[in-house]
Amino acid sequence: MMPDGSTINELAGRRVMAYCHDSVGIGHLRRTMAICDRIGREFAGSSFLLATGTPYVPLFRDVDHVDYVKLPALKKNDAGTYGSKFLNITPQRILACRESMLLDAARHFEPGVLLVDKAPLGVCRELVPTLKWLKANRPETRIVFGMRDIEDEPSATIRQWRDDGVADLLDQCFDEVWIYGMREVFDAVREYKLPRRVATKSRYMGYVARPTLPAMEMRSSQKRIVVTVGGGTDGESVLSTFLADAAIRLTREGYDCTVVGGPDLPEPARSNLAACAREIDGVSWVDFEPCMSSLFASARLVVCMGGYNTLCELASLRRRALVIPRIRPRLEQAIRGRCWEARGAVRMLHPHRATPAMLSMTILDMLREHEGESLPLLDLQGLDRVAARFRTFWNKDETNAPALYM
């Protein structure tokens, strides 16, 4: 008998396999690790097997109960196709390797829950054999698709999901669809025209934001500006624009600036930008910061792209944000920025207008505004609702479960 009264047989069902999209950035990994951390803390004896190709899992080893299957890493080419990030093998072979590793992991781990992040079929349908094997051989396994609030503009997402047969697989293989957002901000079921059979298993969970720091650690510096571009894959333009003018003006006015390049910022851009930052008194350069919340908590203002995790963390800390969204290859960040700006949660500067002078002017204008108190509240209870669903899976308790989409 475990401390919470669970038996060994019950704990056999508390195994979670999480598939985490991995070709670009670290946002999917951060969200998945936040969920693993929350569920692991609440449910004694639970364990998590994370299947991902990202090389950055070891940077987040502060989460207990988690091990991972390291799939061969992928990269997305300019043509929109996938290939190996590190290995000299064909795309067909690396995808076949990943597909077999996923299936073998599911067979041996026998998860009670399979949580699929972002890509319900996996990259290039690599997860489909695993989904079908679980439905045929372990029908008791709960299979859940967790999607961020916004994928892309509706026409592009509808077209891609229709061509890939996503709706059919969601209907046939998944028990629930969790939308990590607010219906009032962006109604993904309606915008993406999900069929009724999928809509009836969809739940709006609220935004997934990691727990905030203790109150005394959340006091912001009136003189610190933080600039971040997430993983950094396509963040060079934002960073160079900031360092070209705003950094100089802000430091002359007594502000300290911390610039985070991100682990995927390509060379030689990383070394060039870091050298440029070091030449400006009052500017600090960081290649990677594993605990962005602590850095955000110390900031008066954050300049960022429109990534899901970044904005959720800033909202949970009630920090002001200037968003310069990515607009290629998809409009997800621009749509999120526009929706959040309409609610007064952020300011957005379209990248086509983000000249050095305009960026400086916008930042200085925002610094004249009152901090924090005027920011609207968003539903940030995503982790609580995820825990409620796991409670339903494992304790058969429907208390506080979010309603299905109707």
> In percent, how much of the chain has pLDDT > 70?
89
Give pLDDT tens digits for 306-333.
Answer: 999 999 999 999 999 999 999 998 999 9
Of residues 30 and 384, the one with the higher pLDDT is 384
Q: Indicate the number of domains in the chain.
A: 2
Establish if 404 belongs to a structural domain.
no
What's the confidence (pLDDT) of residue 397? 46
Cβ contact 332:151 at 8 Å: yes
What's the confidence (pLDDT) of residue 186? 98
Establish if 279 belongs to a structural domain.
yes
Count Cβ atoms within 10 A of the Cβ of residue 242 and give its class: 0-12 exposed, 13-18 middle, 19 or more buried: buried
Cα diameter, the chain: 65
What's the confidence (pLDDT) of residue 404? 62
What angle, rounded to 10 degrees, do the helices at 128-137 and 166-173 form?
Answer: 20
Q: Categorize the per-residue pLDDT at 402 as very low, low, confident or very high, splitting at 50, 70 and 90.
A: low
**Judgement on whether residues 49 and 188 belong to the same structural domain of the protein:** yes
Element at 314 (helix H, strand E): helix 308-317
What's the confidence (pLDDT) of residue 374? 57
**Judgement on whether residues 193 and 222 belong to the same structural domain of the protein:** no
Report whether pLDDT(75) > 90.
Answer: no
**Judgement on whether residues 160 and 244 belong to the same structural domain of the protein:** no
Q: Categorize the per-residue pLDDT at 8 as very low, low, confident or very high, splitting at 50, 70 and 90.
A: very low
What's the confidence (pLDDT) of residue 152? 97
Give ∠ CA 360-288-296 in degrees, rounded to 5: 55
What's the confidence (pLDDT) of residue 1? 45
What's the confidence (pLDDT) of residue 198? 97
What's the confidence (pLDDT) of residue 2? 47
Question: What's the mean pLDDT in 5-11?
Answer: 49
Question: What's the mean pLDDT in 286-305?
Answer: 92
**Judgement on whether residues 172 and 35 belong to the same structural domain of the protein:** yes
**Judgement on whether residues 391 and 329 belong to the same structural domain of the protein:** no
Establish if 268 belongs to a structural domain.
yes
**Judgement on whether residues 391 and 362 belong to the same structural domain of the protein:** no
Establish if 400 belongs to a structural domain.
no
Q: Categorize the per-residue pLDDT at 64 as very low, low, confident or very high, splitting at 50, 70 and 90.
A: confident
What's the confidence (pLDDT) of residue 22? 81
What's the confidence (pLDDT) of residue 406? 44
Give pLDDT tens digits for 360-399.
Answer: 999 999 999 865 555 678 999 999 999 999 999 998 544 4
Give pLDDT tens digits for 152-162.
Answer: 999 999 999 99
Least confident window among 111-115, 217-221, 235-239: 217-221
**Judgement on whether residues 111 and 42 belong to the same structural domain of the protein:** yes
What's the confidence (pLDDT) of residue 399? 46
Least confident window among 78-92, 261-275, 377-391: 78-92
**Judgement on whether residues 198 and 310 belong to the same structural domain of the protein:** no
Q: Categorize the per-residue pLDDT at 353 as very low, low, confident or very high, splitting at 50, 70 and 90.
A: very high
Of residues 13 and 80, the one with the higher pLDDT is 80
Establish if 198 belongs to a structural domain.
yes
**Judgement on whether residues 384 and 361 belong to the same structural domain of the protein:** no
Of residues 118 and 1, the one with the higher pLDDT is 118
| Chain centroid offset of residue 6 CA | 32
Establish if 406 belongs to a structural domain.
no
Mean pLDDT of the chain: 90
Alpha-carbon distances of 328 from 48, 78, 161, 287, 332, rounded to whole Å: 33, 11, 18, 23, 9
What's the confidence (pLDDT) of residue 147? 96
Question: What is the residue whose two structure tokens read 């960022």?
Answer: 304
Establish if 375 belongs to a structural domain.
no
Q: Categorize the per-residue pLDDT at 65 as very low, low, confident or very high, splitting at 50, 70 and 90.
A: confident
Question: What's the mean pLDDT in 334-362?
Answer: 97
Report whether pLDDT(4) > 80.
Answer: no
268: number of Cβ within 10 Å: 8
Query: What SS3 class is residue 145?
Result: strand
Q: Categorize the per-residue pLDDT at 129 as very low, low, confident or very high, splitting at 50, 70 and 90.
A: very high
What's the predicted TM-score (pTM) here?
A: 0.91
Report whether pLDDT(37) > 60.
Answer: yes
Domain of 302, CATH number, reads 3.40.50.2000
Alpha-carbon distances of 115 from 6, 20, 36, 118, rounded to whole Å: 22, 9, 10, 10
Establish if 51 belongs to a structural domain.
yes
**Judgement on whether residues 33 and 71 belong to the same structural domain of the protein:** yes
Question: What's the mean pLDDT in 66-93?
Answer: 90
Look up the domain containing 46 and give its range: 8-209+380-395
**Judgement on whether residues 248 and 356 belong to the same structural domain of the protein:** yes
**Judgement on whether residues 152 and 196 belong to the same structural domain of the protein:** yes
What is the spatial distance between Cα 240 and Cα 124, in angstroms, rounded to a whole number?
34
Report whether pLDDT(271) > 90.
Answer: yes
